[in-house]
Structure 1
Amino acid sequence: MISYALRRVLSAIPIALIAVTVCFFILRLAPGGPFDGERALPPNVMANLRAYYNLDQSLPMQYLIYVWRLLHGDLGPSMVIDGFRVSDLIRIGFPFTLTMAMSAFVVATAIGIVAGMIAAVNQNKWPDYVLVLVVMIGVVVPNFLSAALLQLVFGVYLKWLPAGGWVNGSLTHLVLPVTVLAWPHAARISRLMRGSMIEVLGTNYVRTARSKGLGERLVLARHAIKPALIPVVSYLGPGLSYLLTGSLVVEQVFGLPGIGKYFITAALNRDYGIVLGTTILYMFIILALNLLVDMLYAWLDPKVRYR
């Protein structure tokens, strides 16, 4: 298991380098720059700024400088937010983003698994139809639209929950954002769980367990749930990365102090350091989550062994 994990980590290094290279050149080749503002800067000030951030170098040299600093753990300074480095901004905003994403992940995973099991057990009955309808709404409606609708209904009209902003220690400010993030995730998990559970319930060993007189709950607990979770687990890694990246838009809509506001502002202002630093952070999170999912396969399916 350890040797397999080490091989996966080593194989991920070229992928990470390719992703960094693509993001770097796409961002640098985009029109505009970090110092293109409404007020034109004097030529000598512009020259000094470009020299300070190595923008006066050729594009390949800028890339080599960035990769060299990245290998030493330096994500560089922010070109727009004066006095802050990219690592400082990530350290400030990412804990909130991670807390919100993990809350949505736990809630959505639990609801999705239970809903999928209920739909599978009641296949082609009214609970199944109701859950399928709710699932389709969660999958079809984008999070920025559902966020605006929930803000309007529960925050403005009914005034049950805050429509936006953040107060330290106030969990009510997280209800709407977590709901917006969790709904599509729970919908996808419930679809996967429903299809997998229906397939498992039709297998020979489940029919044998029922023929021996085992109750339905015991059959589900001992024989059906664990193998049915395999497709769900394969989605959990990409699903959590989806929640982390999807939280950028949700944070912007609800005005939350996560890393999303830094990323959106940096993308609009061509702040190369923050955009690249955030992209690299999410890339390594996705690789780590996929590795963790592979490790869980051996526990869920005894036939899977890593040699």
Structure 2
Amino acid sequence: MLRYAFRRVLSALPIAFIAVTVCFFILRLAPGGPFDTGRPLPPNVLANVRAYYNLDQPLFTQYLLYIGGVLRGNLGPSMAFYDFNVSQLLAIGLPFTLTLGFSAFVIATFVGVLAGMVSAVYQNKWPDYVLVLAVMIGLVVPNFLMGALLQLWFGVYLRWLPAGGWVTGSITHLVLPVTVLAWPHAARISRLMRGSMIEVLGTNYVRTAKSKGLGSRLVLARHAIKPAMIPVVSYLGPGLSYLLTGSIVVEQIFGLPGIGRYFISAALNRDYGLVLGTTLFYMLLILVLNLIVDLVYAWLDPKVRYS
């Protein structure tokens, strides 16, 4: 298992290298630059600023300098947030983004698995119809629209929850963003769990367990839940990465101080270093989460072996 994990890490390095290279040249070759917005700088000041950020060097030289810095763990300075480098900005926004993403992940996974099990047990009955309708709302309505609607209803009209912003230590400011993030994730897990559980409940060994007189709860706990979770676990890695990267829009809507807010600001201001650093971070995070899912998948299904 450890050797498999080590090989997966080694195989992911070329992918990371290619992705960083493509992002670097797309950003550099696109029209405009980080100092073209706002009031034009005097020519001598602009020349000094470009020299400071190595933008006066040939494009390939800039690329080699950036790759060399990344290999040393230096993601470079930010061109929009002065007096900060990219690593510092990621360190500032990372705790909040992880708190938001993992909170939505835990809640959505629990709700989705429970809703899928109930829908499968009560297939084609009123609990199944109600839960299917609820999850379809989460899938159909995009998160930016759902966020605006929840802000309007619960933050402006009812004034039950804050409509945006962040106060350190305040859980109420997380309720609406976590709900917006968790709802579609819970909907996808619920659909996967429902279909998988219906299939498992129709297998021979489950029918045999029922014929021996075991109660429905015991059959679910001992024989049905673990194999039914296999498709769900396969989705959890990409799902968690979706929550962490999908928080970009949610953080911007609710004015939250996470990595997503920095990323959008960097994209609008053409902050090369911060855009590349955020892209690299999210890419490595997705690769690590997929590796963890593969390992958990092997634990759930004894037939899976990685050679």
How far is the alpha carbon of 1:44 from its aligned partner? Answer: 1.0
Deviation at 1:104, TM superposition (A): 0.4
Structure 1 residue 59: Cα displacement: 1.7
- 1:255 aligns to what? 255
Deviation at 1:30, TM superposition (A): 1.9
Give the counterpart letter for 1:142 in structure 2.
Answer: P
- Please give the per-residue CA displacement for 1:238-263, whole angstroms capped at 9, x wherever unaligned: 11111111111111111111112211
Q: Which amino acid aligns with 2:31?
A: P
Q: In the TM superposition, what is the alpha-carbon distance from 1:45 to its structure 2 partner?
A: 1.0
Aligned to 1:41: 41
| Mapped partners of 2:261, 2:8: distance in 1 | 33
Larger deviation: 234-243 or 55-64? 55-64
Write out aligned runs for 1:154-193 (5 A): 154-193=154-193
- Match for residue 299 of structure 2? 299
* In structure 2, C-alpha distance between the alignment counterparts of 1:125 and 1:30, rounded to whole Å: 55
Distance in 2 between residues matched to 1:276 and 1:106, nearest whole Å: 29
Structure 2 matches for 1:94-243, cutoff 5 A?
94-243=94-243
CA deviation map 1:205-255 (0-9, x unaligned): 111111111111111101110000011001111111111111111111111
1:252-291 paired onto structure 2 within 5 Å: 252-291=252-291
Deviations 1:131-168 (A, max 9, x none): 11111110111111000000000000000001011111
> Partner amino acid for 2:60?
P
The one-letter amino acid of 1:126's match is W
SS at structure 2 position matched to 1:213: coil
Q: What letter matches 1:241 in structure 2?
A: S
Is 1:7 matched up with 2:7? yes
RMSD (Å) for aligned C-alpha atoms: 0.8
The offset of 1:38, in angstroms, is 2.0
2 CA distance for matches of 1:86 and 1:153? 37
Instruction: Give distance in 2, aligned partners of 1:143 and 1:71.
Output: 36
Runs of 4+ in 1 over 2 A off after TM superposition: none
Aligned counterpart, 2:85: 85
Counterpart of 2:192 in 1: which secondary structure? helix
Q: What's the TM-score once normalised by structure 2's chain length? A: 0.98
Letter in 1 for 2:89: L
Gaps of 5+ in 1: none
Counterpart of 1:53 in structure 2 is 53
Question: Which secondary structure state, in structure 2, belongs to the residue aligned with residue 145 of structure 1?
Answer: helix
Aligned to 1:139, what secondary structure does the other structure show?
A: helix
Deviation at 1:56, TM superposition (A): 1.2
Secondary structure of the residue that 1:60 maps to in structure 2?
helix
**For residue 301 of structure 1, what is the amino acid of its counterpart?**
D
- What is the rounded CA distance, in whole Å, between the counterparts of 1:239 and 1:81 in structure 2? 31
- Paired residue type of 2:115: A
Q: Which stretches in structure 2 are left out of the alignment for 5+ residues?
A: none
Any idea what the Cα deviations from partners look like across 1:81-106, whole Å, max 9, x if unmatched? 11100001011111101101100000
Paired with 1:32 and 1:123, the residues of 2 have a C-alpha distance of 57
Amino acid at match of 1:30: A
Structure 1 CA distance for aligned equivalents of residues 165 and 171 of structure 2: 12
